[in-house]
Amino acid sequence: MVLSAPAKVNLGLWVGRKRPDGYHEIATIIAPTELADTVNVGRARSGIEVTCDSTEVPSGPANLAHKAAEAFFRTARVNDGCRIRIRKRIPVGGGLGGGSSNAATVLAGLNLIFGKPLCPRRLRLIGASLGSDVPALLAGGPCIVRGRGEKLRRIRLPGLDLLLCLPGFAVPTAWAYAELDRRRGTGQGLTRPVVSPKILRAAIKRDEPDKVAAQLRNSFEPVVFRRHPALGLAKELLLRHGALAASLSGSGSTVYGLARAKGWKDPMAALARNGFHCVRTRTR
């Protein structure tokens, strides 16, 4: 099977305090995009083989797609194997969920190949054990996500035209969470969740930048922009050139802008002068 593994953007991301289990409470809208990796999944007599065309991504057991296949075979009690080929288009470490999407796609693909031995709920439980974004990327459309990523609900959103600003470096997720916790130890940075699909839809429809910006608030921006001022500059340039709103996706490093139907000046040249590669895409 040849499958599409979409990148995601976080349309707003609230991060709460660390829970006793070591995870953080989150509230976010996860929207898949047309930017995607290609994942080939084939049946084999035994074993799991994972290869990738990117040197930035591990092949073999260290790859999250390999872990997904292992978990599928163990849970479904299937004794066969598989071969997985990944063609990367999603930047690695950019907050766009490439590894999680590959894992979700492998789970869904294997379930189809082997006759759907697992129900959607079982697949989501496996996904939650692999990463916080995996259950939402299994859902196949925009979701509002809470808890540590395991509580989700499909929602309706209009298709959104996006400009992704890719700086060419990654922001380690573990560092971002640790720095956020450190700041909060000094009494800074703990906000209240504002994620509401209903308010976001209405604000986009009415072209209300302030209300859209409030919905796209990302708890990581203060710590990530302080460490990487260029990312804050990317957001500023997007807004200066007429984006309806702009935000960091996940813990970064990708910054995206929502294009407007009118009054949108192409910011790609200005962003390129500041070292950003830009990709146009659209939410699914």
Catalytic residue annotation: 8, 133
Residue 214's φ and ψ, nearest 5 degrees, are: -65, -35
Dig out the tokens for 129 from the structure. 């054990």
The amino acid present at 262, given as its one-letter code, is K
How many residues are present in the chain? 284
The C-alpha angle with vertex 235 and arms to 234 and 240, in degrees rounded to 5, equals 95
149 phi-psi bin (left φ>0, alpha ψ -120 to 50, beta other): left
Q: Are 149 and 26 in contact (CB under 8 A)?
A: yes
CA distances from 164 to 91, 158, 187 (A): 11, 18, 32
Three-state SS string across 102-141, please? HHHHHHHHHHHHCCCCCCHHHHHHHHHHHCCCHHHHHCCC
